[in-house]
Structure 1
Amino acid sequence: MKRLKVITSIGLILILSIINYVWANDSIQKDEKLLLKVFNKTEANFLEANVNFTGKILDKLVEIDELETMAEKLKDNLNILGTKRDGNFFNDMNNVKIVSEDFYDMDITNGENFRQIIISGKDKEDRTITIILSSYKDVYGNAEETDLVIDVIENKNASKIERVINRVKEVFKNFNTKPQITTCITGTFKGKLKEKDIYKKITRALQSVDAKKVEGLTDPSVISISAYSPYLKNYIYTGNKKMNINLAVRYNQYEDKTYIWLANPIITIGY
């Protein structure tokens, strides 16, 4: 499960645009606590929590040196440790990004109409934090924009998510921006669960926040359900229906574990 989710923001944008989802901008003050409550009802073993923040911070194309200065300040604000290691550093065995407290990575793309800086590293509590600053110009419409994505992976204690979220919100507040936030908690069960037991766990979890099923998919390899709870304020639309809980379950034969992903409002990582 060690992975660098650099493309999370891109995937999120594509998902929401292709299937015509619309974000709501309601307060999400307590959503993370409620999502953790739902997860605990499944009785899964906590593996990791991934929180992704996306927002536009400027209406202009930024020069690469200014973008790099912004990225360094963000790194310091988020307490990313280590010294800079330029370029991507991958484990040749499985193409997994190696992230440690000794180094942080900075990858730079500098084009005429598109500039991007990606910083990835660890903070003092061993969280993996990725910062993506993208600045671009639409050569056809002459529109210019600079976006910020901050992706946090907590794999020690799910209850610490709220503190991280508050810190990142402050970062966006400094840009007068309210970010779109996606939270996904991943857990595991030992062995392969029977389908009836999976649905019992799903039902118990959704009932804990009065969530009603919106859509569902079941095939031999995965069960996926979207639902809506009146208690979770961060939601999107699927068609003309609101959804703010997305839950998926899949068995991994190689590890002999059943994985569960629980997200608000939608799962944006691979499963």
Structure 2
Amino acid sequence: MRRYSLLGLIFILLVGILYNSSAQPVKNIDTDLLQEESLLLQAIEIGGFQMEEFNINKSGFIPNTFLTMEELEEKQIEIMDALNINGEVVRINMDEVKEYGHKDYFEDPLDIEAETILEQRVEDEGYNEIITFVPNEEGNVTVIKLLSTQIVGESETYIIVDIVENKRYKEIVDISNQVENILEKYASEIQTTINLTGAHLGMLTKAEENQKQEEIFSFLEAKRIEVLEDELFTSITAYSPLISSSINYGGRSVNLQLAMRYSEYEDKTYLWIANPLITTAY
């Protein structure tokens, strides 16, 4: 049975929930355009990289609505049922974990079984929050965050589903649609961020890297907006007319970011490609 370091889980959880909503694109409906997930997956393959992981983050916004903890819990259960999430729920307090460690939550202070679901709840005046963190034995991770606030008479609720998968690449569109269908039941506005990671065995020369970047940008008909590059790392923001969503970045429309880095430890050159911007560690 695969087991996970609790400290590692807490770290990923913190990264997952510190989501920058300003970096999320607003999707314009255009049925003639291929879905972003499929386009980016094809771009990875055209560049000659092997898919290793994808991350889909979808956020639903419910305006003028403040939900009680009981109402948030109802939606939490509905989302977990729809995603076939089952397991033992262990409630944690992130502040206590950060301050005192995690020994009080588990018999084994270093490991947690994959079937265990971590959950944090925060209930205060005008603020309710439930965060559910779900690892599985294949190394995939799902984070569900429900947040409702009421400040100076103004209410709003957010539902965020963040999924990391390292196997089911061909199902990326179906998984994305499944999450969106769930959020559409509750939210009037849905925003999406997609991050894909690919790898190429060995270290590429700069000429080889440039060639692969050209192949990817040519396929996506993308125009470079900003390029940051040194001997070990490349990051490029761009705009593709084939992708239906975009954000304003530095006064220009952006809907694509590509990054490349060589890992000497693994002897692999990694490629990250995202819409609109990379929000995972790279």
Q: TM-score, normalised by structure 2?
A: 0.81
Alignment of 1:1-271 (within 5 A): 4-8=12-16, 10-13=18-21, 16=22, 23-27=25-29, 30-87=35-92, 100=114, 102-122=115-135, 127-138=140-151, 141-271=152-282
Using the alignment, how far apart are the partners of 2:111 and 2:62 within structure 1? 28
Kindly state the Cα deviation for residue 228 of structure 1 after the two structures are TM-superposed. Answer: 1.1
SS at match of 1:65: helix
Aligned counterparts of 1:124 and 1:238: Cα–Cα separation in 2: 38
2:24 and 2:193 in contact (8 A); partners too: no
Over aligned residue pairs, what C-alpha RMSD do you find?
2.8
Cα distance in structure 1, aligned partners of 2:126 and 2:247: 31
1:105: Cα distance to partner? 1.8
What displacement does 1:218 show? Answer: 0.8
User: Do the aligned partners of 2:233 and 2:261 also contact (CA within 8 Å) in 1?
Assistant: yes
Equivalent-residue separation in structure 2 for 1:96 and 1:193 (angstroms):
38
Using the alignment, how far apart are the partners of 2:173 and 2:135 within structure 1? 18
The one-letter amino acid of 2:20's match is: L
CA contact (8 A) 1:79 1:123 kept: no
In the alignment, which residue of structure 1 is the partner of 2:106?
Answer: none
How far has the Cα of 1:126 moved from its partner?
6.8
Give the CA deviation at 1:208: 0.7
Distance 1:259 1:253 in 2: 11
Task: Report the more deviating stretch, 67-76 or 148-157.
Answer: 67-76
Distance 1:60 1:44 in 2: 44
Deviating more after overlay: 229-238 vs 115-124: 115-124
Cα deviation for residue 22 of structure 1 reads 7.8
* 2:119 maps to amino acid: M
CA distance in 1, matches of 2:230, 2:256: 20
1:175-206 per-residue CA deviation (whole Å, 9 max, x = no partner) reads: 14231111110112223222221111111111
SS of alignment partner, residue 189 of structure 1: strand
Deviation at 1:142, TM superposition (A): 3.0
Q: Structure 1: where are the runs of 5+ without partners?
A: none
Kept in 2, the 8 Å contact 1:53–1:151? The answer is: yes
Which secondary structure state, in structure 1, belongs to the residue aligned with residue 217 of structure 2? helix
User: In 2, are the aligned partners of 1:32 and 1:183 still within 8 Å (CA)?
Assistant: yes
- State the alpha-carbon separation in 2 of the partners of residues 125 and 177 from structure 1: 33
Whichever residue aligns with residue 214 of structure 1, its letter is I
Q: How far apart in 1 are the matches of 2:37 and 2:110?
A: 28
How many aligned positions are there?
259
Amino acid at match of 2:133: S
Conserved? CA contact 2:61–2:187, under 8 Å: no
Relative to structure 1, the CA distance from residue 162 to residue 124 in structure 2 (aligned partners, 3 Å threshold; closer, same or farther) is farther
For structure 2, the 5+ residue unaligned runs are: 1-7, 104-108
Aligned-residue sequence identity (percent) comes to 28
* Paired residues of 2:13 and 2:133 also in contact (CA < 8 A): no
Q: TM-score, normalised by structure 1?
A: 0.85
In 2, the alpha carbon distance for the partners of 1:97 and 1:219 equals 38
CA separation in 2, counterparts of 1:77 and 1:197?
44
For 2:111 and 2:149, locate their aligned partners in 1 and report how far apart those are by CA, in whole Å. 26
Answer with 152-161 or 126-135: which moved more. 126-135
Q: Per the alignment, in what secondary structure is the counterpart of residue 19 of structure 2?
A: helix
